[in-house]
């Protein structure tokens, strides 16, 4: 469970780096895959952190399921 947010953050950072590299070097084929990785990694990271917070809240009794 702890590995998933780290892996999602790594995918996001790789995507940001690849997109930035493509933009700064005017290398068009590197921009689209980098943007895709940043989008997917960011969504994955958000879902992973929200799921983790929800599970921790349920364990503490803070968040009640619907």
Query: What is the per-residue pLDDT across 29-42, written as a single tens digit (0 to 9) for each?
Result: 989 999 999 999 99
**Residue 18 lies inside a defined structural domain of this protein:** yes
16 and 49 in contact (C-beta within 8 Å)? no
Picking from 5-9, 37-41, 50-54, which range would have the lowest pLDDT averaged per residue?
Answer: 50-54
**Residue 65 lies inside a defined structural domain of this protein:** no
Tokens of 49: 């952190």
Our count of domains for the chain comes to 1
How many whole angstroms separate alpha carbon 22 and alpha carbon 66?
45
Which residues have a Cβ under 8 Å from the Cβ of 26 and sit 6 or more positions away? Answer: none
Pick the more confident residue, 2 or 47: 47
Tokens of 42: 């960011």
How many whole angstroms separate alpha carbon 34 and alpha carbon 58?
36
Percent of the chain with pLDDT over 70: 83
Tokens of 4: 């998933």
Whether the pLDDT of residue 62 is over 60: the answer is no
**Residue 30 lies inside a defined structural domain of this protein:** yes
Question: The domain containing residue 7 runs over which residues?
Answer: 3-60
């Amino acid at each position: 469970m702890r590995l998933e947010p780290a892996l999602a953050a790594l995918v996001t950072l790789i995507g940001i780096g690849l997109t930035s590299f493509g933009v700064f070097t005017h290398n068009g084929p590197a921009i689209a895959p980098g943007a895709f990785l940043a989008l997917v990694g960011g969504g994955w990271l958000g879902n992973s952190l929200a799921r983790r917070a929800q599970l921790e809240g349920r364990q503490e009794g803070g968040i009640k399921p619907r």
